[in-house]
Structure 1
Amino acid sequence: MQNIADNLGKIHLQIRAAEANAHRAAGSVTLLAVSKTQPASALREAYAAGQTAFGENYLQEALEKIESLSDLKILWHFIGPLQSNKTRKVAENFAWVHSVDRLKLAERLSEQRPGHLPPLQICLQVNISQEQSKSGCAPESVIELARAIQPLPNITLRGLMAIPQATNNPQEQQQAFHALAELLKSLQNEFPEMDTLSMGMSGDMEMAIAEGATIVRIGTAIFGARQPR
């Protein structure tokens, strides 16, 4: 049986070591616990161990957990593909959305964000490896998308997210992370408020941090093998 608290402790040590190896400030990388398919009890256990930010991919499953765990001060991140007909529930229940890849989604999230909540923090998902089967804005289109989204009320454009193509070649993996980091740097000339790189998972976290990740999305290393839906 997985000891979630021990796993979190090990991951935080790995993050701190990766920050030091990359000559980055301690605490510059945030751990996002990817909790899709995990029961609410596992999230509660992680929260008791100090984890407060959780990432969910499937809206209906997430809404059930949000209700079940409403007594906890959890910061909910939506990290899965987002359809236009589901934006309202995301706008009403999440603090962050990592998977905005077109203007229509951003417009709906802005319109549907309740006025009593702070602005929704969003990342633009980039198809950095340009895979036909994967969601995300093409790298060459990101600047135009950012220009269109930035003026919208009720949302704050924070940065970029990507899931590079799976590969056993470390050099290819490193190149994908580097490309996303360079893309953010180019955007910061016009959008200095963009400060977030959401990239890196359980198997490539150290490499992502070396290339500038500010949020790493870790699931298996915290909770163990993913449960079937």
Structure 2
Amino acid sequence: MNTDEISRNLQRLEQRITNACLKVNRKSQEIRLIPVTKTKSAEMIQMAVALGVSHVGENKVQELISKAERLQNEKLEWILIGHLQSNKVKKIIQYIQEFHALDSIKLAEKLNKELQCIDKKLDVFIQVNTSNEISKYGMQPEQLADFLCQMQQFRQLNVVGLMTLALHTKHEPQIRQCFQLLKKLLDESRIDYPNISRLSMGMSGDFEIAIEEGATDIRVGQAIFGHRALADEYYWPEQGEK
């Protein structure tokens, strides 16, 4: 894929975002597109940067670090959107500006401790398993309120929103239900925590539904950079680092 192809894909994507917003009387400026670059080369990311992309999402720790080091001269922010194991926290925190998959107090404690050591704060999204699939990471919806209460002790972590992965199906009502539940949880959480305002939900196959249901951050890879060699099931849900 070349720069022109990526440019056309981004333009098409922007139009689809605008159309989805119009359906529910939202403004496209409310939506932040996070280009997902897993399995894509550093050269392809440079093409995207030349087109104005300023941040990208990666799923795997080692892949993110490798690309961040190769592209350290680019004005680019890195967002970790996949599962993070506690033993990899120290390796990754210097490279990322956001983390979209926080799902345990143990991980929060480790992140907070290591961030203190480098005097850094990190924006985080809490991952909720709205599809109730045992194969997916994320806490159960009923655990969120207590988790948010416990999160107040971690001064280096700034909880800005919630994240979810919808059910991997072509049945739209089931997908929509996952997003509706996350929006409901956000509305309930904001009563006590008004600074939590963002919803990271929606990927290439379902981002329009996510926008209709209140997404503020959509994580899109294939609609920008083309199909990956491996099926989606290899990445979502992720079973640790592959």
TM-score by length of 2: 0.90
2:220 corresponding residue in structure 1: 218
> 5 Å matches for 1:24-103?
24-103=26-105
In structure 1, distance between residues paired with 2:114 and 2:166: 30
2:13 corresponding residue in structure 1: 11
User: What value does the CA root-mean-square deviation take over the aligned residues?
Assistant: 1.5
Q: Within the alignment, does 1:120 sit opposite 2:122 as a pair?
A: yes
The count of aligned residue pairs is 229
In structure 2, distance between residues paired with 1:156 and 1:4: 33
* Identity level (%): 37
In structure 1, distance between residues paired with 2:150 and 2:12: 41
Aligned pair partner of 1:146 in 145, 148, 164? 148
Q: Deviations over 1:114-166 (max 9, x none)?
A: 66665200001111111011110000001111111133111100111100111
Aligned pair partner of 2:180 in 178, 181, 189? 178
Cα gap change, 1:114/1:226 in structure 2, threshold over 3 Å: closer, same or farther?
farther
Equivalent pair of 1:33/1:222 in contact (CA under 8 Å): yes
Q: Where in structure 1 are there 5+ consecutive unaligned residues?
A: none
Q: Deviations over 1:171-221 (max 9, x none)?
A: 111111111100111000011000110000111111100000000000000
TM-score by length of 1: 0.95
Amino acid at match of 2:86: S
1:196 corresponding residue in structure 2: 198
Equivalent pair of 1:92/1:112 in contact (CA under 8 Å): no
Cα gap change, 1:185/1:223 in structure 2, threshold over 3 Å: closer, same or farther?
same
Q: Within the alignment, does 1:169 sit opposite 2:171 as a pair?
A: yes
Q: Where in structure 2 are there 5+ consecutive unaligned residues?
A: 231-241
In structure 1, distance between residues paired with 2:197 and 2:91: 26
Cα gap change, 1:117/1:11 in structure 2, threshold over 3 Å: closer, same or farther?
farther
Equivalent pair of 1:38/1:227 in contact (CA under 8 Å): no
